[in-house]
């Protein structure tokens, strides 16, 4: 079974161009599945029944795994058994009728335009000049990061691998490497470009001398590329200091980017392209947020609202 799992993951990586995070998650899910099958004397794929696969999913739910994680696991199982069937390793697919829990789509938390402005207008992020006694002036970097997140709606996984060469000030766009290694061009406004330029001039040049991090744009205090957690801490720190009561994380800026575009009348297909969504149905959740915004405007300003 181990060999079959590795062959499947290899197939996903090379032929389906699956994202590294997907490979990691599927390996973890299929390892749980393999252990479950071994405990039930079904280590050979041919001996796996539909009932056994269903009991595995039920156990995941009983163990308290989130519905989204269970659905991902079901997807891993279905893909794995289809692979075995297509490769002639197995003669049947025990997951053909397997269903996971129904996911209830919750609307993501977004910042209002005033809240975004409150975060970006803090004194700490708006000093007239850098401190000559501060060897790093990391506040310039933080402001540039927040500006880029809001200006482009990119994912944190995309931000941490963004290179200096991906930013075209002349063209007013950034090249973003998204899920499945798919590239897209996203417009970026003058404010974000100005702060990137200031960061590169007043901050990055000092950080880069410490370690040398090639062309990665955003660096940590030691000169290495920032991590997801590093970006998360930066966002949360400045949101808390601005007095924002909501739970703000990097993806909140992505949700806010999409919502504010739609509130302003942007075309749904254009927003889909900028977010890098493969399916427009994923982008459509923001139209629900937009309707919620319209209802709030109606309640606030209509004489009988």
Given the residues 27, 206, 208, 277, the one annotated as active site: 277
Given the residues 179, 184, 198, 200, the one annotated as active site: 179
Given the residues 155, 204, 255, 260, the one annotated as active site: 155
286 as an active site residue: the answer is yes
What count of other Cβ atoms lies within 10 Å of the Cβ of residue 281? 9
Given the residues 78, 82, 175, 251, the one annotated as active site: 251
**128 vs 34: CA distance, rounded Å:** 59
| Residue 187 host element (H or E) | strand 183-187
**36 vs 59: CA distance, rounded Å:** 10
Given the residues 4, 72, 141, 254, the one annotated as active site: 254
175 as an active site residue: the answer is no
What count of other Cβ atoms lies within 10 Å of the Cβ of residue 158? 20
With contact defined as beta carbons under 8 Å apart, do 37 and 81 qualify?
Answer: no
251 as an active site residue: the answer is yes
**73 vs 103: CA distance, rounded Å:** 13
136 as an active site residue: the answer is no
Given the residues 8, 150, 199, 286, the one annotated as active site: 286
With contact defined as beta carbons under 8 Å apart, do 292 and 286 qualify?
Answer: no
What is the 3-state composition of the chain as percent helix, strand, coil, each rounded to the nearest 5? 60, 5, 35
127 as an active site residue: the answer is no
User: Would you please indicate which residues are annotated as catalytic (active-site) residues?
Assistant: 155, 179, 251, 254, 277, 286
């Amino acid at each position: 079974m181990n060999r079959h799992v590795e062959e499947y993951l290899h197939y996903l990586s090379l032929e389906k161009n699956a994202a590294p995070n997907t490979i990691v998650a599927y390996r973890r899910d299929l390892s749980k599945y393999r252990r479950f099958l071994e405990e039930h004397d079904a280590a050979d794929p041919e001996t796996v029944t539909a009932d056994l696969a269903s009991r595995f999913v039920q156990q995941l739910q009983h163990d308290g795994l989130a519905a989204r994680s269970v659905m991902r696991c079901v997807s891993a199982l279905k893909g794995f058994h289809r692979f075995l069937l297509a490769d002639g390793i197995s003669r049947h697919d025990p997951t053909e009728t397997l269903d996971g829990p129904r996911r209830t789509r919750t609307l993501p938390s977004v910042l209002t335009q005033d809240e975004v402005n409150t975060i970006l207008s803090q004194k700490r992020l708006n000093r007239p000049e850098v401190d000559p006694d501060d060897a790093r002036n990391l506040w310039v970097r933080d402001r540039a990061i927040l500006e880029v997140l809001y200006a482009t709606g990119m994912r944190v996984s995309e931000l941490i691998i963004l290179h200096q060469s991906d930013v075209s000030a002349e063209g007013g766009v950034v090249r973003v490497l998204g899920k499945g290694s798919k590239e897209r061009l996203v417009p970026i406004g003058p404010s974000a470009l100005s702060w990137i330029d200031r960061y590169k001039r007043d901050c990055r040049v000092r950080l880069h001398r410490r370690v040398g991090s090639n062309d990665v744009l955003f660096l940590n205090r030691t000169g290495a590329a920032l991590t997801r957690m590093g970006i998360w801490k930066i966002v949360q720190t400045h949101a808390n200091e601005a007095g924002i009561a909501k739970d703000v994380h990097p993806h909140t800026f992505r949700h806010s980017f999409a919502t504010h575009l739609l509130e302003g009348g942007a075309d749904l297909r254009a927003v889909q392209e900028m977010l890098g969504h493969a399916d427009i149905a994923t982008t459509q959740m923001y139209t629900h947020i937009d309707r919620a915004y319209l209802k709030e405007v109606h309640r606030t300003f209509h004489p009988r609202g």
